[in-house]
Amino acid sequence: MKKIVLAVLLSLGMSSMSALADGGEYKGFSVDFGRSTHPGEKNISTGIAIMMSSRSNAYYGYEMQVGLFDNAGPFTQNVAVDVSAIGFVPLSDNSFQLYGKVGVADVYSTGSSEKANKLGLTYGAGVEFPREVGIIRVGLQHFTLGSSTLSPSFSTNQIGLTLLIK
């Protein structure tokens, strides 16, 4: 059921991105450094992600992202797929802007003895620097991973450096 919900969300996200591409469509990648916490346990991880961002105007848009990261408790491999609405606050003429995003993330996790899947809320914030070739972004994103039997779930925060090209 979760896979069906995720497929529907991704399809809606992709179709809405195409329909609202007047403000620009960007594709890019991110390099992330993260920290996952669970009662009595903390892990540091690294990751990479690819993403597509579509902006209907200067103030809002939609994004889809697929990322891989390691080391979160018993899980050594994690794949996160998310679809988010994103809002922008331009702070100066094409110099930089703040952004905030909220959406749905599905995280698939595997370890030596465990597998888990977690569908949940994701949110993030950061700052973007528009350049001639695209956008450079520094931001924070939060999501959870685990399963219904792992209570509470792992809370994961990632800080990333992103390059988006138009």
Taking only the tens place, the pLDDT of each residue in 140-152 is: 999 888 765 555 6
- DSSP collapsed to 3 states, 93-146: CCCCEEEEEEEEEEEEEEECCCEEEEEEEEEEEEEEEECCCEEEEEEEEEEEEC
Taking only the tens place, the pLDDT of each residue in 72-101 is: 777 888 899 999 999 999 998 778 999 999
As a whole number of angstroms, the distance between CA 102 and CA 84 comes to 5
CATH number of 2-165: 2.40.160.20
pLDDT of residue 26: 94
pLDDT over threshold 60, residue 106? yes
Structure tokens at 142: 């939060």
Structure tokens at 36: 């996952």
pLDDT of residue 150: 57
Quote the pTM value. 0.80
